[in-house]
Amino acid sequence: MAGDAPSSLPVQLVEQPRLLKLKESFIAKFGSAPKFYVRAPGRVNLIGEHIDYCGYAVLPMAIEQDILIAVEPVNNDVVQLANTNSLYLDFSASINDIQIDKTKSQWHNYFLCGLKGIQEHFGLNNPTGMNCLLDGTIPPSSGLSSSSALVCCAGLVTLRANGKTLSKVELAEICTKSERYIGTEGGGMDQAISFLAEEGTAKLIEFSPLRATDVRLPSGAVFVIANSCVEMNKAATSHYNTRVMECRLATKLLSKSKGLDWKKMLRLQDVQAKLGVSLEEMLTIVEEVLHPEPYSTEEICKCLGISLEDLRSQILSQNTQDVSTFKLHQRAKHVYSEAARVLEFKKICNEAPANAIQLLGELMNQSYISCREMYECSCPELDQLVDICLQFGAVGSRLTGAGWGGCTVSMVPTDKLNTFLKNVKKAYYQSDVQRLALENNSLFATKPGRGALVFVEA
């Protein structure tokens, strides 16, 4: 059941070398033993890029790579955070005075987002202090959701340490909201799959209300993740938040042209719902209403009949105040066509025709072209990597996550997997000294993993 709370599993640490090692490191660091451990997985989005914040369903699966935190609640008001990776510095703060610096995307700020979300949800006046040691296996800024997994893990840590309970859906919704403390206007996919994932199945994640449906992937193919080794940090870049605003502005202009109450409309899905038309019909409306040339802020104000001050104070987010041009036609076209591809992907998985793998691969390829051409969220390295993956046997390949760097996901027939891995290694990683150093964690086949949970020593 997806509606229940995250599982709590008793484990024998001798059988769990990673947990055992984390316990030993924790004792060496804090001088006492952790009381429990919390794990939250990263994810790969198979199809449905940049549409969750527009209100549309997406199709991710959890991966085996995760954030794991050892925790000891303590009788003071201090939260102490440490990381097994020495590149990430220790941090401590008063638990009653949580300050999140939006200008710095330091690792501890993502933990503080999850912590603050739970504190505020319950109105905890006297939250318990904690010692926490984190061990992460998700490559950072790779588009596999390391930051959201950390927010989710911290939320579940804080929940457990304070003796509270919530359902997975409630946790996902709180963690989505609380990640905005760091300035990311995300749509909720990453947090939803981190909590709602189940082993062996991908999920169709739908929003308002949040729900997850199993999607059985075809046997006979595997999904391979390949890291472009170009880091992209969502909170630190304006690209991501500019796209969110372009979709919001397209929503306003489409609504106004159709005589809807545009001030109340926030997401592209709202326009479709209000008009009661299909995604195909929405694409026709986009062609009729929005021009392909970029819109200036002046033109947007004119179309909506508002002042520049109103635009900045009522519509644009804090970090998009200085953007002067917006591409509305291209962004809306991507969103409505990508939303249709997600539904088609699920339908093919459900009906399982003989050529399912081929059909799903074609949808992934179309998604990638739309991300590259219409949403402009690719980069030269991702383009090169997708080409290499298709050249060596992938039936479909696309960027996954926000883009502008990070990873590709490719669908590869099982019988071609070994030669595929060997050839991609040679063509992309071994041809470049910097990539060669990162090669071991950069290319791997993955299968749907389970969602966030708590471990206690048996």
Catalytic residue numbers, as ranges: 190
What is d(CA 360, CA 66) in angstroms, rounded to the nearest whole number? 27
Q: Which residues contact 148 (CB under 8 A, 6 or more apart)?
A: 175, 179, 186, 190, 191, 194
What is d(CA 161, CA 163) in angstroms, rounded to the nearest whole number? 6
CA proximity to 139, closest of 66, 86, 90 = 66
What is d(CA 24, CA 32) in angstroms, rounded to the nearest whole number? 10
What is d(CA 319, CA 245) in angstroms, rounded to the nearest whole number? 10
What is d(CA 64, CA 138) in angstroms, rounded to the nearest whole number? 9
Token output for 25: 């490191």
403 dihedral zone (left: phi>0; alpha: psi -120 to 50; beta): left
What is d(CA 50, CA 36) in angstroms, rounded to the nearest whole number? 35
What is d(CA 406, CA 394) in angstroms, rounded to the nearest whole number? 18
Query: 355 forms bridges with which residues in the sheet?
Result: none
Peptide bond just before 139 cis, omega within 30 deg: no
Strands (E), 290-332: 295-296, 325-326
Q: What is the DSSP letter of 198?
A: B
CA proximity to 251, closest of 270, 235, 275 = 270
